[in-house]
Structure 1
Amino acid sequence: MYRRRDTRRELLVAEITAELRRYCGDAQHVGHAFAGQHGLNATDLQALIAVMDAELAGEPLTPGRLGEQLDLSSGSVTALIDRLERAGHIRRDRDTTDRRKILLHYADRGAALATDFFRPLGERTDQVMAGFRDDELEVVYRFMTAMSTSIREHRDAVRSARVEPRRRAG
């Protein structure tokens, strides 16, 4: 049973929490729509986002780091990368400083597909942000960064708490 929210802060916290939940759900729907249109599954989409984020940060992922982020075995990562490479979404390049190291990059075709699909969302996002002053955006950025850190910490805690099911004695 929900308790009555007495203070403005309690009400605001509840509303923000509800909006975050709705935003996450809607963002998942958008991502699934993109994935569905391009024959991708949920893991493929997570991999593409990870590759894109790493590239934007100027630190391209290695297959090993991608596997760590997605909690996949090396064999599963290889199959995933092979599938995404065949579909033209990513490419593998050798590191120029260490030729033994493979780096993952968004392929031109994959980047073009993502840009075409997400351009309208980017325009909507720009319109929303235009309605906020710089000092307000600083607060929003601080909030979103803290919330992102919080969810990643929880994700990692959930991952580490997983226990293999026990076999029944027979």
Structure 2
Amino acid sequence: MYEKSSRYGVVRRLGTALLRFMQQIEAVYEHIAASTRMHPTDFRTICLLADAKTPLSPKDIGHALGLTSGAVSALILRLEGHGLISRQPNPTDRRGVLISLNEETAAPALRDYHALHAHYMQVTEEFTAAELEVVARYMENIRQVTTGHLMLAGAEPPKASK
């Protein structure tokens, strides 16, 4: 009985921690976006492009951020107007384009984002590879459950980051 109630307490603690983390990361992203005078979606897009390390198609951006094609078009126009991104022809699709981050222009907005990730890495260093494997497996399984829920609800889930 003790083991079952102990497990329940840990599961509750984990669920609470995960929910609070999700809320905090949203708050941090919104704060960074506001402090750099960007819309939160614009900021998420430059973070996505910075993490991708390669150009992305508008469709990939839309899937990753859960945006319609019309919203992606408006987003690209805004980011391009601010010099944060550029378009180039897609070599595998003659009608398509790829979106690249202008790293120099985006650097001020990404400074806090990169600092946050550096702090995450410091915390990560406190754990063994085996412990991190358990956390990674848990997060991947939770993501699969969430994706399944979205699909049952008729929503298109975001694509996994590359």
TM-score of the aligned structures, taking structure 1 as reference length: 0.75
Residues 7, 19 of structure 1: CA spacing in aligned structure 2 closer, same or farther, 3 A cutoff?
same
8 Å contact 1:88–1:109 — kept in the other structure? no
What is the aligned length? 154
8 Å contact 2:36–2:109 — kept in the other structure? no
Alignment of structure 1 residues 101-116 onto 2, 5 Å: 101-116=96-111
Which residue pairs with 2:9 in the alignment? 11
SS at match of 2:38: coil
Match for residue 32 of structure 2 among 34, 46, 65: 34
Structure number with the bigger relative contact order (C-alpha 8 A, sep ≥ 6) is 2
Residue 52 of structure 1, CA deviation: 4.1
Give ranges in structure 1 of 5+ residues lacking alignment: 1-5, 162-170
Alignment of structure 1 residues 32-111 onto 2, 5 Å: 32-53=30-51, 55-56=52-53, 60-111=55-106
Residues 103, 16 of structure 1: CA spacing in aligned structure 2 closer, same or farther, 3 A cutoff?
same
Counterpart Cα distance in 2 of 1:27 and 1:110: 23
Segment of structure 1 superposing worse, 6-15 or 69-78 = 69-78
Residues 151, 39 of structure 1: CA spacing in aligned structure 2 closer, same or farther, 3 A cutoff?
farther
Give ranges in structure 2 of 5+ residues lacking alignment: 157-162
Letter of the structure 2 residue corresponding to residue 118 of structure 1: Y
TM-score of the aligned structures, taking structure 2 as reference length: 0.78
Counterpart Cα distance in 2 of 1:119 and 1:42: 16
What's the % identity of the aligned pairs? 31
1:150 aligns with 2:148: no
Counterpart Cα distance in 2 of 1:129 and 1:48: 24
Letter of the structure 2 residue corresponding to residue 141 of structure 1: A
SS at match of 1:99: strand
Which residue pairs with 1:167 in the alignment? none
